[in-house]
Amino acid sequence: MTLDELIGARLAVGFPGTEATPELIAHLRAIHAQSLVVFARNFHSPEQFRRLIQRLTEGVGTPLLVMVDHEGGRVVRFSNGVTPFPDAMTQGRTQAPEAIERQGTVEAQELRGLGVGVNLAPCVDVFVDGSDPVIGDRSYGTDSDLVGRLSAARIRGLQSHGVMACAKHFPGLGAVQRDPHKTLPTITLDWTAMETTHLPPFRAAIASDAAMVMSSHVCYPTLGDPPGWPATFSARLGRQLLRQRLRFEGLLLTDDLEMGALQSFGTMGEAAVRATEAGHDLLLICSDLTAQKEAFASLQAAYQDGRLPLRVLELSVERLARSRKRFLV
């Protein structure tokens, strides 16, 4: 693969509309995109959506890895053609792990039928009473053990039927006081609280062989990083904690780099480079095509001038290729 192709393999991009326009195909080809993040704006029927993915794949000339937030409850992007499941909090109060695993199985079968290879779920965040509702009912509950058991069951159901699961938001977003979609929050929990409450569900997800983990746009200064420095840019959390201590060998991806939490850190290009330095394999840029071009150009420059090491890029793309081969997507 060329440098441009390696960089493009690490971008997961969103786009407007429900049609594979020539302009959209030209854009995806220009940034060598291989992964898409889809939303409600891209869907009005299963038939239209399958046609959209097929035409984009043909236009780009390479198989596309399609991702979607399909959590259940209030976070579902497809308005029809899929089974509606309750939110995770309701499931946590009413369902056993066996039922949650069956849910994952149904989701995987339906998503595969739509051409989707990744469910950006489950949220393995442990909700803390009084926290911002950005997580709220997206969490299985306030009990760490329950969250871990149900998350692991969901992951098994999804992945045993060919859809990658994504445990989010590392290292735990359940105690957040402000919505990172809008502003940069800080969680001041110490290592004891993280180790006893918020990290165990991630350990359970990793033990269940979760294909992906998504990081959070939140600062954790009591875990060793400077105040105001989000987990998205933290090699301490991405490389040392997740990779070395928790022994996660799958794909690490960012949350959407366009979110408000990162707006004070400069350009999209700089955010993409910093997230790469922290150890992310996939960078999500979910709406702005211009921002996607900027990220591609900044990464290209960073590899060419040696700020980012080429061998680490190659290893990241190799991880992605192994995951795609494992799930045949």
Q: Which residues are known catalytic residues?
A: 181, 255
**DSSP per residue over 1-45, as a string?**
--HHHHHHHTEEE--SSSS--HHHHHHHHHTT--EEEE-GGG-S-
Token digits of residue 308 = 């980012």
Report the C-alpha gap between 20 and 54 in whole angstroms. 9
- SS3 (DSSP) at 118: strand
How many other CB atoms sit within 10 Å of the CB of residue 73? Answer: 16
Rounded to 5°, angle at Cα 77 from 218 and 122: 50
Residue 118 β-bridge partners: 67, 164
DSSP 3-state helix, strand, coil percentages of the chain (rounded to 5)? Answer: 50, 10, 40
**Widest CA span of the chain, in angstroms?**
55
Q: Which residues of 303-315 are buried (b: 16+ CB within 10 A; e: fewer)?
A: beeeebeeeebee
| Identity of the residue numbered 72 | G
Mutual orientation of helices 144-159 and 200-207 as an angle, nearest 10°? 20
Residue 282 β-bridge partners: 253
How many other CB atoms sit within 10 Å of the CB of residue 83? Answer: 11
**DSSP per residue over 88-115, as a string?**
HHHHHHH--HHHHHHHHHHHHHHHHHHT
